[in-house]
Structure 1
Amino acid sequence: MSPVDVDAAPATFRPTSDLSQETLDYFGGDDLRARVFFDKYALRDPRGRVLETVPPQMWRRIAREIASVEPTAAKQAEWEEKFYWLLEDFRFIPGGRIMHGAGNPKRVTLLNCFPAGTPVLTKRGFLPIQHVLPGDEVLTHRNRFKLVTHVMERETEEPLVELAVFYLGDQSIRCTPNHRFYAYDPSGSTRWVRADELTKGHYVKVDRITETIPLAELDLLDYLDGGGLEEDGSVYTAMPYVGGNGAVGVKETRRVKRRVALDEQFGRWLGFFVAEGGVTDNSVYFTLSKDEPHLAREIAGLTQSVFGLDASIQERADQPRHWMRVYVHSRVLVRFLRMFFDGRTESHEKQVPQWFLRMPQSIQKAFVGAVFAGDGVISEKSVGLFLANPGLIRQIYTILFRLNVVASVRWEGMLRYTKHRGMWINVGTQPYADAIKAWIRGDFAVESTLVEVDKNYFYKVLDGDLFIKVKQVTYAAAEIQTVYDLAVEDDHSFTVCWLGAHNCYVIPVRDDSIESIFDWMREAARTYSLGGGVGTDLSVLRPRGAPVNNAARSSTGSVSFMELFSLTTGTIGQSGRRGALMITIADSHPDVLDFVKVKRNLTKVRYANISVRVSDEFMRAVESDREFPLGFANEHAEVSRMIRARDLWSELIKGARDYAEPGLIFWDQIKYWSTSEYNGMGVITTNPCSEIPLEPYGNCCLGNVNMACFVSDPFGAQPRVDWERLEPALRAATRFLDNVLDYNADKHPLPAQKAASLKSRRIGVGFTGLGDMLIKLGLKYDTDEAVGFVDQLFERIKNVVYDESVNLACEKGVFPAYDADKHLAGRFVATLQPPVLERIRRHGLRNVALLTVPPVGSGAALAGVTSGIEPIFDRAYVRRSESLSQETFKVYHPLVREYMARFEVEREEDLPLFFVTAHQIKPEMRVKMQAAIQKHIDHSISSTVNLPRDATLEDVERVYLLAWKLGAKGITVYRESSREGILITEEQAAAQSASATPVVEERRAATPRPRPKVTAGRTERVETPRGRIYVVVNEDEWGVCEVFVHSLDVEAEGVGRLASLALRGGIDPREVIEQLWRVQSKEVAFDRSSSGTVVRVTTIAQAVALALGRALYGEDFRPDKEFPRADVLPAPVNHVRQQTLKFAPNAGVASGSEPIPEVGIARPTNGEAAGNSDHSARMEFIGICPDCGAQLVHENGCAHCPSCGYSKC
């Protein structure tokens, strides 16, 4: 086999659009689960290619990454396997950001980058960083090659750090200030140090190749392109010829050994060729000084020994008595060398194959000795080498480091006898120079050892590794440029210019000032950009009408800033997902009534959840129908007034019933049971879905135990909870999330978030699949028996998890802010069993709080179980086909499908009573279940009480009052159809369909309107997977009338012609956009609009839809982010004349408008307003899934999509 084959090509990864059959097969054909995994959690490279096709690959990645923070290699290996077991079969479902982020530095290394051109050492050699691809292997700080999983790039205009170290001459390294290098610290330790923190007292590690490839010989037949012949162990070529008399003969070349041993002789011969050799069409030659006859004789002897070829030594004809040449006449050898050197045999371009950098050291010693013998400068104390071939110099320099030789390298200008700029290698330290001299003499047994010599202050040797002293650290001038970073598996580092480089919440509004508000926006934007969500409380801001110290007479109030916060959230996103935001306000704030009503305008605060922090005092005032004081006071303003408590209460109830917001947070309950009300950990608001109350800059670390996995003998005679596996899972989950805190410590967007996270070590062991567990146990969700069972279940869970936190405290230490007396005085801790309490007294806790019930959303859909503590929402869902027909089909909940198949049940009506759904359960029972669990949860619970569409205000009020009285910390209700577009039951769908059956009227066929002689429009260049295309969108006086597509792909023209036909035939352009966007492929391209908005495009049809959408809605049109449903897109605006277009829904002539012959479009009249509506309002209805355009379900305190798995939370 040719050594070129040793380095296999980068792995072939799957493009991202179409669902992998391998993925679908793994999930047993369950399209929803497979799609959730494939689209949301499978690891991808920046080009969108899938690196993980089945969950075991994801589980292994997550387990390895989270175990990596364990202190020893043995512990890491042990916990990687235990975490894998925990994750396997979805026993434990980490928070979505953990599943997506662990081992995926895409969101955490975005700022740590190098500019284009920075050389990175790969198995393909030194490559400019922008040319490194996922699948390449790079040298890491552990002196081994590891796989690149991602290549990231971004634009920056920040000044870059320029790092210069000794021995690399003028080879300075430029990088962003916070990129880290592995360095020896002046304090005497080795660690990763930011570039802008390096000083002249640091020494940076040199990475060296230690791997050796097991390659024993070369087969010259592999280098002859199939044109070689073999005979008696030799290889030759033959060519027919015609003689002068017409006779036909065959001319054979000289025989050459077929198999060439890769040994010291080959290495030496190769070194001489690199230094002194060249080729013609028929010969190989070596040019030597007349003073080097001994080298000429050695080369001739090596040629015979290695290849079996004779060589001749001749004086050079054009310069006799000065130069001599060694000639080897062999076309086979010429062909071998040209292929061996990849066609580059000139002196300024020769480079050895990259696999040669990993050959046995004895062969490399022979090679280095010959190169220095041929082209070196030898003196008593040093050796040097100059070549007008920088690429080859870098290879030799890399080999010298591998051979434990410390050398320096520097650029040189073009010398008199060269046309190419050259580089010098100089070895000036005696032990290393002596080793090279021995290799020049042919003594390859001599070893070089890294040692520190007297009076040398420029390098250090630590544990066999070389560290070179920093020369200087400066800043380059700021300029706009593209910078890059790599994600590398396992070692998370790569080699740049021989040096080791690392690869890559609640935010309070602090005070009542405009500066604080904009500080919040900056910090929130940074958090969103790195995948985080944010919660904040407005109660610190002065109310509407309060005096201000600026040009305004009075404050616009706290509510006026909600839209600003919301737009920040909607604008900044990561991985195509908007940030998540929870805004709260105290019930006593004077703006609370405005707050409660703000989202009744569907165009306002579209990117935030809102909740009111309700006090016990307010609830008692409601019960007794008393007045309730509102007030605000700080050094700038003081406002107070009284309101009737039930007036505010009525607005809260109305908002919940009719608009599904705001939610209620029973704040006194939260503070009363909080375990963190000391040492600066007091909670001030909640995370975006309200299941975690948080301190300033506190953050969530969530994962969910899948309760459905822990039932023995499900549906059997004696089903039971499988505690033999559940308890180990709970303990492993606690350690897993505690490890996440350390794994994520340096990845927080803000330093304050890191500090808060490590100070309290707050985690949230959550739960999902409870509804499925009860069904497997034969318990009906809405029974006192089920509530009592769940109460006992979570009592035991609570004690197991707290006991494990004690174990972690014994092993790793208590959380930094722990105070035994204050913590043990907490009311929740007092509910633990006496043995656990005693252990806490003796050893403390690792985590300030441990338990929660978050909305699981996509994670539950991925696992195929009920979400959180919810019952089954519905036994079956109606899903829409992705085909043009948009047909619908029924999909059963996985456990329903499993039961029906196992017990041969054919009709849903024949299912047992314990298959009860959310809509069949009385609201009071939902509240009782939540309250029973809340007793054993130190944080809070995100859950939704689903109400029928005919629920009254009194029904909502009963739910709220019961939740407060039973000790719930918060409550969310959702009345069916309280927001437009929510999923409806199958029966209601059928009834609506029947009532909406249209009366069949005779209709004439629509015919395309004539194309006018002159149209106005725009031409846009769009990137597609098939190359760049140009899309022309033209408009006549009635609107968009035609689309032209210019492309090398001739079928693209057909897309434009059919789109034009539809548009001129009266078809709403929104329908055209939707249908074209539904055409997807396996390929991906990214197109950037003139405003900088980047859109993912998979087909030419999608490119046409994109261009059409931009023409109608502007440059920020994002069909890949918000699915372009025709019935959701706003009415288009004619961008040429800014006239509102009207489209008749049935292709008939609109009443009261001037008809266009044979076309169902209304001509705009002179009195119509021009584009003054809010076009984005309908795009943001809660009922529409932004990923697939289907309708959303509201459960577990969050909206999610049963069709594709999208989750708003």
Structure 2
Amino acid sequence: MSSVPTEDLIQNEPFTYEEALKSAIEYFKGDELAAGVWLNKYALKDSQGNIYERSPADMHQRMASEISRVESKYANPLSKEDVFEVLDRFQYIVPQGGPMTGIGNQYQIASLSNCFVIGNDGRGDSYGSIMKVDEEQVQLMKRRGGVGHDLSHIRPKGSPVKNSALSSTGIVPFMERYSNSTREVAQDGRRGALMLSISVDHPDSESFIDAKLDGTKVTGANVSVRISDAFMKAALNGEQYKQTFPLNSSNPSVIREVDAAALWKKIVHNAWASAEPGILFWDTVIRESVPDSYADFGFRTVSTNPCGEIPLCPYDSCRLLAINLLSYVDNPFSEAATFNFEKFKKHIRIAHRIADDIIDLELEKIDAILAKVNSDPESDETKRTEVLLWEKIREKAIQGRRTGIGITAEGDMLAALGLRYGSEESIDFSEEVHKFLALETYRGSVELAKERGAFPIYDAKLESKNPFISRLGEADPDLIKEMKIYGRRNIALLTIAPTGTTSLMTQTTSGIEPVFMVFYKRRKKINPNDTNTRTDFVDDLGDHWQEFNVFHHQFAAWLKQNGHDLTEVENMKEEQLNELVAQSPYAGSTARDVDWPSKVRLQGKVQKWVDHSISVTVNIPEDTSEEMVGDIYRIAWESGCKGITVYREGSRSGVLVSSTEKKKEQNFIAERKAPERPHSLDARIVRFNNNEERWIAVIGLLNDHPYEIFTGRTEDSFHLPHWCKSGFVLKNKDEQGKSRYDFQYKDRDGYRITIEGLSRSFNPEYWNYAKLISGVLRHGMPLLDVIHMVGNLHLDDEFLNTWKNGVIRALKMFVPDGTRALDSTCSECGEDSLVYEEGCLNCKNCGHSKCG
């Protein structure tokens, strides 16, 4: 049932963070994670961080208004109510990322496109062209886009050049340049995303493959190798393989023969060791690509977007939209469960119309970007690259009208139907669903071409030998007949993207993936005043915590359907829970324990009905062999996959881990992950002298523990009345969109006073040290260890040493009374009896005290 918000819910006055968070939690029925993701990433905000939507209902109202405005320009328009109904509650159709934040957003001049590819189609590698790509990358990222480009056109290391260097530095330095540029661009709490690719035919491909192995370089980019069929055959047969530069040249300047099996083994080892490089089976990509039928019009595919699901030509772009497959299962998790193909068909057509409407909205955004750039006070010469960039992107969007219609919740759909992910039955059913989706999406594009016109360069003859189009024709000859008469609205239409944050809001599995974990443990701090509460864990500071199980949303639905009491199950031991999982349709179907070759075969079957590509990560346990990684890649190639990535548990930080007993060390690391910072933190003020200067420390607190610290002189621009001992640290955005920390307190009349820009108020050198200390506090290092770390900083400057002592004094104020010191031996009596009391070290044996 639709729940269209009334107009009086949309207001010009901003909501407070607390108001919006409360409303979003109610919307998501208590799911704080989903509410936080939506509020921090997708809610409408201005450049000062003011929030203008209090729940996704407001966001969907905003989107429905704009999409229906575009619809009204064409025949048979969808109404605002029609659009809102399919967007509401993330139940059916979910525009992803850029469209969600950007549609109807009057506060940002940003693109709606999720994906871009740039470059020069393999022509030229002068410094000028390399720097031009760097600038284009940054210009796109500042408008929120993810970017990909290929490096195969850069000459290999040692090649002669006619400048003062005399020879080329090769690929790796430019990988670092592009990676660093990515890390510099802020996107409202989201780091820019970059894909760098190279052909295995390039003589520097081995250096490219090794570039990220130690985890310290190219940290701002994903990297993938374009693998040819010829290389795969040579590698599997143990043959030599010829690399050349330029690629595909009849007269290459560099020729190198390599042992294909050895290079393949290196690719497999690095993927096993560090989860990169990913692999793009490039001949399959090009052979199956419908847009490559129009290569002479500039649609020759050269690379992919950062997650690999959209192969693109230079300056083309795509906007992603997912259909929630779980919502088409009637009577889920029961013997009567069925898939509602009629409703699915109806919504596929609506999804396609919305995706096409979003192209029109993107063209409006591009016009706004160009108007903004042209009105900027810089010279035309300075603006030239940016203007030409967006003009090229606009042209490609008009010529091809590319869409990225995909799915999410594949894993939950199969479980709700009682099918084990990766079983032969599940693979066959998934193929049936995606075949249906492909046929109906292409049929919708033909129908829309009748109403709105085909994409301008459509030519049935150019596509006549394309394998994907031929496959559609074999399945439905009438569709191809209609297409030849009326054309098609879009050059390509389908993809399967990773739906990370989207799946948190749909509360389902992500994309085509199985469930990552059916359950995991969380800890809740116990209030000392609470009685009759179970303590499961006591931390280094003596705080008591209760552990409880958190379930994947749809596993919880299965539990309810099968008569289990959730409260009772939440408190079960892991062994009991595993017994329950074994009885569920999720048995043997988590990312970690699914049959990996079967998962890859499922991807290959589905790929036949997806004209772009599929983003898939095969998650494998830590003890998986390198040989198995090689087998997964080989099976992916043989199955017709276009690309694949393997992640071995523990091979790279920053990925969720399982809750099994043998992963205790990794769980400890996961528990140390910094909790997300709220907009406002309680703060305490500690004053101290730095030699003759008066200094102040502002300590931000999360759950009553130090989370961050800022220090500076009171004589500078940071002035507080002497009676002020507390307040709030607010994280806001400055005029350039960078993070800014402000301090706020109440004066004696109750009015809030805000001091903007702590970073501007405090000395940069001290600010950098404070960032270091804040980092370890946020990641959960025990407070005594932080104090010990600061105390052991070797600072030559006497002012810095005095500052260091002041920081230590400030942090000691938060050590609970009675906490034993790390080195608890008293210097006076020699007894092991030093404890903290009110920030001082007191000996419980002889009474000796040391403060500061």
- TM exceeding 0.5: yes
More helix by share: 2
DSSP 3-state at the match of 2:609? coil
Letter in 2 for 1:813: G
1:33 maps to: 34
TM-score of the superposed pair, with normalisation by structure 1: 0.53
Displacement of 1:801 in angstroms is 0.6
**Is residue 2:776 matched to residue 1:1125?**
no
Secondary structure of the structure 1 residue equivalent to 2:290: coil
Q: Which residue of 2 aligns with 1:987?
A: 660
Task: Report SS of the residue matched to 1:20.
Answer: helix
Q: 2:302 aligns with which of 680, 684, 694?
A: 684
Q: Distance in 2 between matches of 1:1013 and 1:771?
A: 59
Change over 3 Å in CA distance of 1:544–1:37 after alignment to 2: same
Equivalent in the alignment of 1:852: 495
Runs of 5+ consecutive residues of structure 2 not aligned to the other structure: 1-7, 370-389, 527-540, 570-575, 670-686, 702-708, 746-753, 837-852
1:337 maps to what in 2? none
Q: What letter matches 2:258 in structure 1?
A: I
Give yes or no for contact 2:742–2:758 (8 Å, CA) kept in 1.
no
Name the structure 2 match of 1:620: 233
Give the equivalent residue in structure 1 for 2:683. Answer: none
- SS of corresponding position for 2:323: strand
Q: Which residue identity does 2:602 align to in structure 1?
A: M
Q: Could you say which residue in structure 1 is the equivalent of 2:461?
A: 821
Partner in structure 1 of residue 193 of structure 2 = 580
Q: Equivalent residue of 1:816, what SS?
A: coil
Residue identity in the other structure for 2:740: V
Offset of residue 574 of structure 1: 2.2
Partner of 1:904: 563
Cα distance in 2 between the residues matched to 1:744 and 1:8: 27
Residue of structure 1 aligned with 2:554, choices 881, 884, 895: 895
In 2, the alpha carbon distance for the partners of 1:993 and 1:854 equals 28
Q: Is the 8 A contact 1:852 1:940 kept in 2?
A: yes
Asked whether the equivalents of residues 235 and 260 of structure 2 are also in contact (C-alpha less than 8 Å), the reply is yes
Could you tell me whether the CA contact under 8 Å between 1:1111 and 1:1135 is conserved in 2?
A: no
What is aligned with 2:848? none
Residue 1114 in structure 1 maps to residue 768 in structure 2: yes
**What is the distance in 1 between the residues matched to 2:444 and 2:550?**
40
Q: Does the Cα contact within 8 Å between 2:710 and 2:767 map onto a contact in 1?
A: no
* Deviation readout 1:268-317 (Å, 9 max, x if unpaired): xxxxxxxxxxxxxxxxxxxxxxxxxxxxxxxxxxxxxxxxxxxxxxxxxx
1:1014 is the counterpart of 2:691: yes
**Deviation string, structure 1 residues 499-531 (Cα, Å, up to 9, x no partner):** xxxxxx111155211001111121111111111
**Cα distance in 2 for residues equivalent to 1:1097 and 1:1122:** 21
- Rg larger in 1 or in 2? 1
Find the aligned partners of 1:649 and 1:59 in 2 and give their Cα distance: 47
Q: Is 1:646 the equivalent of 2:261? A: yes
Gap regions ≥5 residues in structure 1: 1-6, 111-504, 997-1009, 1025-1029, 1036-1042, 1056-1078, 1161-1209
Cα deviation for residue 108 of structure 1 reads: 1.7
SS of aligned partner of 1:914: coil
Distance (whole Å) between structure 2 residues aligned to residue 1032 and residue 1119 of structure 1: 11
Q: Find the aligned partners of 1:63 and 1:782 in 2 and give their Cα distance.
A: 37
- CA spacing shift, 1:644–1:892, aligned 2, 3 Å: same
Name the residue aligned to 1:919.
Answer: 592
> Structure 1 residue 825: deviation in Å?
2.4
The 1:1015–1:707 alpha-carbon spacing in structure 2 relative to 1, beyond 3 Å, is: farther
Within a 5 Å distance, the mapping from 1:691-840 to structure 2 comes to: 691-748=309-366, 750-832=390-472, 833-840=476-483
Q: Which amino acid aligns with 1:756?
A: K
- Partner Cα distance (2:544, 2:304) in 1: 40
Aligned to 2:94, the other structure's residue is in SS state strand
1:656 counterpart (257, 271, 290): 271
Tell me by how many angstroms 1:20 deviates: 2.7
| TM-superposed deviation, 1:533 | 1.2
Q: Secondary structure at the match of 1:64?
A: helix
Compared with structure 1, are the counterparts of its residues 585 and 73 closer, same or farther at alpha carbon in structure 2 (3 Å cutoff)?
closer
Q: 1:821 to 1:692 in 2, by over 3 A?
A: same
Q: Cα RMSD over matched residues?
A: 4.2
Q: Residue 740 of structure 2 corresponds to which residue in structure 1?
A: 1095
2:639 corresponds to? 966
Letter in 2 for 1:892: F
**What's the secondary structure of 1:630's corresponding residue?**
strand
How much does 1:1110 deviate?
5.5
Distance 2:485 2:775 in 1: 53
Q: SS where residue 1114 of structure 1 aligns? A: helix
Tell me by how many angstroms 1:689 deviates: 0.6
SS at structure 2 position matched to 1:725: helix
Displacement of 1:1135: 9.0
Q: CA, structure 1 residues 1084+600, in 2 after alignment: closer, same or farther (shift >3 Å)? A: closer
Q: Distance in 2 between matches of 1:995 and 1:553?
A: 51
1:349-748 aligned at under 5 Å gives the runs 505-509=116-120, 511-633=124-246, 638-677=253-292, 678=294, 679-748=297-366
Distance 2:37 2:83 in 1: 22
SS of the aligned residue for 1:744 comes to helix
- Matched with 1:280 is none
Q: Check whether the contact 1:656–1:973 (CA below 8 A) recurs between aligned residues.
A: yes
Comparing 850-859 with 565-574, which one deviates more in the overlay? 565-574
Q: Please give the per-residue CA displacement for 1:566-592, whole angstroms capped at 9, x wherever unaligned.
A: 111110122232211000000011111
Do structure 1's residue 1047 and structure 2's residue 720 form an aligned pair?
yes
**Quick one: which amino acid aligns to residue 563 of structure 2?**
E
Work out whether residues 1023 and 1085 of structure 1, in 8 Å CA contact, stay in contact via their aligned partners in 2.
no
Q: Residue 631 of structure 1 contacts residue 639 of structure 1 at CA under 8 Å; is this kept in 2?
A: yes
Q: What corresponds to 2:375 in structure 1?
A: none
Q: Is the 8 A contact 1:535 1:688 kept in 2?
A: yes
Q: Secondary structure at the match of 1:918?
A: coil
Question: Aligned residue for 1:141?
Answer: none
Q: Find the aligned partners of 2:768 and 2:796 in 1 and give their Cα distance.
A: 9
Shift of 1:69: 2.0
Distance 1:825 1:522 in 2: 38
Q: Give the distance between the partners of 1:866 and 1:1102, measured in 2 at CA.
A: 44
1011-1020 vs 12-21, which moves further: 1011-1020
> CA 1:1148 to 1:1020, structure 2 compared with 1: closer, same or farther past 3 Å?
closer
**For 1:930-1009, what aligned pairs fall within 5 Å after superposition?**
930-988=603-661, 991-992=664-665
Do the aligned partners of residues 789 and 962 (structure 1) sit closer, same or farther apart at CA in structure 2, a change above 3 Å counting?
same
Distance, in Å, in 2 between the alignment partners of 1:834 and 1:781 is: 32
On the 8 A contact 1:780/1:913 being kept in 2, the answer is no
**What is the distance in 2 between the residues matched to 1:859 and 1:1054?**
38
Aligned-pair identity (%): 32
Rounded to whole Å, the distance in 1 between the matches of 2:287 and 2:354 is 28
User: Aligned letter for 2:691?
Assistant: V
Distance 2:458 2:47 in 1: 42
Name the residue aligned to 1:87.
Answer: 87
Q: Choose 40-49 or 861-870, whichever is displaced more.
A: 40-49
Aligned residues of 2:197 and 2:226 also touching (Cα < 8 A): yes
Deviation at 1:1085, TM superposition (A): 4.9
Equivalents in 2 of 1:995, 1:61: separation in Å?
A: 42
Q: 1:924 to 1:835 in 2, by over 3 A?
A: same
Q: Secondary structure in 2 aligned to 1:683?
A: coil
Q: Which amino acid aligns with 1:856?
A: T
**Would you say how many aligned residue pairs link Structure 1 and Structure 2?**
703
Distance in 1 (alpha carbons) for counterparts of 2:31 and 2:667: 30
SS of the residue corresponding to residue 197 of structure 2 reads strand
Q: Secondary structure at the match of 1:52?
A: coil
Q: CA deviation at 1:637?
A: 8.1
Structure 1 residues 829 and 556: alpha-carbon distance in aligned structure 2, compared to 1, 3 A threshold: same
- Give the strand-richer structure, 1 or 2: 1
Query: What amino acid does structure 1 have at the position aligned with 2:641?
Result: A
1:1099 Cα deviation after fit: 5.7
Does the 8 Å contact 2:317/2:393 carry over to 1? Answer: yes
**1:470 paired residue number:** none
Single out whichever of 48-57 and 876-885 deviates more from structure 2.
876-885
Q: Is the 8 A contact 2:171 2:207 kept in 1?
A: no
The Cα shift of 1:910 comes to 2.0
Is the 8 Å Cα contact of residues 732 and 739 (structure 2) preserved in structure 1? no
Q: Check 1:1031–1:1044 CA distance in 2 against 1; reply closer, same or farther (3 A cut).
A: farther
Is the partner of 1:69 in helix, strand or coil? helix
